[in-house]
Amino acid sequence: MSALTTIVQGLFSAYWYVLLATAVVGLVPDLRETQVGQLLSRVTDPYLNIYRRVVRPLVVGQITLDLSWMIGVAVFFVIEEAVGSVMTRLLMNV
């Protein structure tokens, strides 16, 4: 495995943890207003807003579920696999 592949996989892993932290912070409204919550939002909102434009939050009684996060994560994993596959094929041909 090349250094480039390792770096790209590390970046995908780091962003996955940031997405996961954003979901945890989103469960507690007061945490969203902290500096950490705002930082996480600045990092993940540009990506998640793509899905928020298409998938509106689901209101169940007094609870609002943001399904765009789940769709965004699913697409994220598909993109991660596709990038890994393409990089492997390209590096095998070199």
The structural domain count of the chain equals: 1
The pLDDT tens digits for 20-74 are: 999 999 888 788 889 999 999 999 999 999 999 999 888 888 888 888 899 999 9
User: Residue 19: which domain range?
Assistant: 3-92
- Record the pTM: 0.85
Closest CA to 68 of 46, 85, 88: 46
The residue with tokens 């598909």 is: 78
Neighbours of 60 (CB within 10 A): 8
**Which pLDDT tens digit goes with each residue over 60-82?**
888 888 888 999 999 999 999 99
